[in-house]
């Protein structure tokens, strides 16, 4: 191992030692109850005691996870539901004033998992909590583009639609890009899973205008939450595009979004054009869905509608083989926040150092819709590379039980693994920065699977093995 990069294994959690049979030493129901108590416990000491009992149980971890993740749901009458509050007791207490607007398609059945579309509305700092009402009502082919209704999209696509009110901050124009937005979006999805039978791997995100800003943010921070992300009529000025990899990402934008005398350039078509160009240059699959219209959601509605109907099998892949995590990251410099988790990666500790990002800079003069026409025509948006303090992990599952990891400004990280990624009956090899640092057999653990749920609050991202590696330069 070279002096330049010494990598040492500091922990491999392979609990459930030698437990390979499918017969439980204690009753399966009891293991499920213990696991439920473990997840609900806020007592560290009590959790340790529970973990010993759980780890002592022999059997298939997947059986327990299947039981824990299965819930019965009541039938819900199809239609539009306005101004709903969170119903989960904990979420109702923590978010008493937030509103949810639902569209339930006629095809929904409580005994069959459904896709979910989360819509982030437009507006600004003064937008009321009732803002989703402008968008979520039913629509059809005859709905004029001046009307932003999108409910018909979810009816025709056969998916539950939910539009939450933006996180509240009357002083912030980017309310979908605030530090607390990540946790808020997780809670919205959890609430929907409480109400409806939702397939965790068929959740899509659509954001328009201010919500479009949010999709450029969440595409870099939480792409693993969604099967697809639609950034409609938004903009960005900072990006680490490699972090989007693994999720279907669609840019939806009108060529006449900015128009002299009508609308300023803060969501100009040029922002979308640069995103498409840079994603293409960096080999990151995406869709660029242009339309000839302006900013209103009505212009984007048929584009998103037709895409969803043309791609009915959009699914998230929790085990996508090529992923990247950067931290801090966000759609603008001042909205870049630390990030720990992404699919099967966790950044445990970073070091000082810089990372290169894509950035956009407006020429400024001529960006306002009422400025002189000569200034308007001289306006330009420029691309540049900038360096800022950040860390990054890029991991590739090469197949054949080999995982290749490249780190920048990272001192410790964790890999979370699933049998669909590697063969647990054979040795798993991990290379870090070109060096083979791990070569061992590993075993699945129910306790680790439960920990992976706590890490993301998502039954679709369960990993029964974790390997934590320490990187020292």
Q: What is the pLDDT of residues 374-394, one digit of tens each?
A: 999 999 999 999 999 999 999
pLDDT digits (tens, 9 = 90+) for 26-74: 688 999 999 999 999 988 888 988 988 888 765 679 999 999 999 999 9
Least confident of 145-149, 206-210, 406-410, 456-460: 145-149
Residue 139: its pLDDT value, please?
83
pLDDT digits (tens, 9 = 90+) for 188-207: 999 999 999 999 999 999 99
Residue 53: its pLDDT value, please?
85
Overall residue count recorded for the chain in this entry: 473
Same domain? 62 vs 86: no
Nearest alpha carbon to residue 61 among 469, 466, 463? 463
Residue 290 lies in a domain: yes
Residue 26: its pLDDT value, please?
66
Please say whether the beta carbons of 455 and 463 come within 8 A. Answer: no
Query: Which of 290, 319, 348 is the last residue in one of the domains?
Result: 319
With cut-offs at 50, 70 and 90, classify the pLDDT of residue 163.
very high
What is the C-alpha to C-alpha distance for residues 39 and 43, in angstroms, rounded to an integer?
10
Could you tell me which residue, 229 or 4, shows the higher pLDDT?
A: 229
Same domain? 219 vs 239: yes
Residue 278 lies in a domain: yes
Residue 345 lies in a domain: no
Strand partners, 15: none
Domain extent at residue 93: 79-319
Strand partners, 148: none
Query: Phi-psi bin for 341: left (phi > 0), alpha (psi -120 to 50), beta?
Result: beta
Residue 378 lies in a domain: no
Confidence check: pLDDT of 437 > 80:
yes
Same domain? 111 vs 53: no
pLDDT digits (tens, 9 = 90+) for 311-348: 999 999 999 999 999 999 999 999 999 999 999 999 99
Confidence check: pLDDT of 3 > 70:
no
Nearest alpha carbon to residue 358 among 241, 204, 447, 449? 241
* Residue 425: how many other CB atoms lie within 10 Å: 11
Same domain? 180 vs 250: yes
Same domain? 142 vs 267: yes
Query: Which of 319, 353, 375 is the last residue in one of the domains?
Result: 319
Q: How many domains does the chain have?
A: 2
- CATH number of the domain where residue 119 is located: 3.40.50.1820
H-helix segments, 234-381? 269-281, 297-310, 373-378
Mean pLDDT confidence for 229-244: 98
Nearest alpha carbon to residue 84 among 136, 35, 127, 33? 136
Residue 25: its pLDDT value, please?
52
Nearest alpha carbon to residue 196 among 107, 309, 112? 112
Same domain? 25 vs 90: no
Mean pLDDT confidence for 251-259: 97
Confidence check: pLDDT of 20 > 60:
no
Residue 59: its pLDDT value, please?
60
Same domain? 288 vs 400: no
Nearest alpha carbon to residue 276 among 256, 250, 254? 250
Residue 152 lies in a domain: yes
């Amino acid at each position: 191992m070279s002096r330049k990069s010494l990598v040492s294994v500091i922990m491999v959690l392979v609990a459930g030692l030698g437990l390979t049979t499918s017969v439980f030493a204690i009753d399966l129901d009891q293991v499920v109850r213990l696991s439920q108590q473990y997840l609900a416990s806020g007592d560290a000491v009590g959790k340790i005691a529970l973990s010993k009992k759980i780890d002592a149980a022999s059997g298939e971890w997947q059986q327990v996870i299947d039981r824990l993740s299965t819930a019965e749901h009541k039938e819900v009458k199809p239609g539009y539901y306005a101004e709903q509050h969170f119903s989960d007791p904990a979420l109702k207490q923590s978010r008493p004033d937030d509103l949810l607007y639902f569209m339930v398609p006629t095809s929904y059945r409580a005994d069959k998992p459904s896709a979910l579309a989360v819509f982030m509305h437009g507006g600004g700092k003064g937008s009321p909590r009732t803002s989703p009402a402008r968008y979520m009502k039913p629509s059809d082919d005859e709905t004029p583009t001046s009307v932003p209704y999108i409910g018909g999209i979810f009816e025709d696509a056969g998916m539950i639609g939910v539009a939450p009110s933006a996180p509240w901050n009357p002083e912030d124009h980017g309310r979908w890009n605030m530090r607390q937005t990540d946790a808020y979006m997780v809670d919205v999805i959890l609430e929907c899973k409480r109400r409806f039978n939702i397939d965790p791997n068929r959740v899509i995100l659509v954001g328009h205008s201010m919500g479009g800003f949010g999709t450029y943010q969440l595409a870099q921070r939480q792409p693993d939450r969604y099967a697809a992300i639609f950034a409609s009529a938004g903009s960005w000025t900072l990006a680490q595009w490699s972090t989007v990899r693994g999720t279907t990402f669609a840019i939806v934008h009108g060529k006449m979004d900015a128009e002299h005398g009508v609308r300023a350039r803060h969501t100009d078509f040029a922002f979308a054009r640069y995103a498409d160009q840079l994603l293409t240059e960096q080999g990151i699959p995406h869709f660029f869905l242009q339309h000839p219209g302006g900013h209103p959601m009505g212009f984007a509605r048929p584009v998103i509608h037709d895409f969803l109907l043309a791609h009915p099998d959009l699914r998230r892949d929790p085990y996508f083989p090529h992923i990247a995590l950067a931290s801090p990251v966000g759609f603008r410099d001042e909205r870049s926040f630390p990030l720990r988790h992404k699919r099967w990666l966790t950044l445990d500790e970073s070091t000082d150092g810089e990372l290169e990002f894509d950035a956009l800079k407006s020429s400024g003069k001529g960006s306002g819709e009422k400025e002189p026409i000569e200034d308007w025509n001289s306006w330009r948006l420029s691309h540049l590379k900038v360096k800022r303090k950040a860390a990054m992990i890029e991991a590739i599952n090469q197949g054949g039980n080999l995982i290749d990891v490249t780190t920048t400004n990272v001192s410790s990280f964790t890999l979370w693994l699933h049998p669909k990624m590697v063969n647990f009956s054979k040795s798993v090899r991990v290379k870090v920065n070109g060096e083979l640092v791990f070569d061992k057999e590993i075993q699945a653990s129910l306790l680790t699977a439960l920990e992976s749920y706590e890490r993301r609050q998502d039954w679709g991202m369960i990993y029964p093995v974790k390997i934590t590696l320490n990187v020292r330069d």
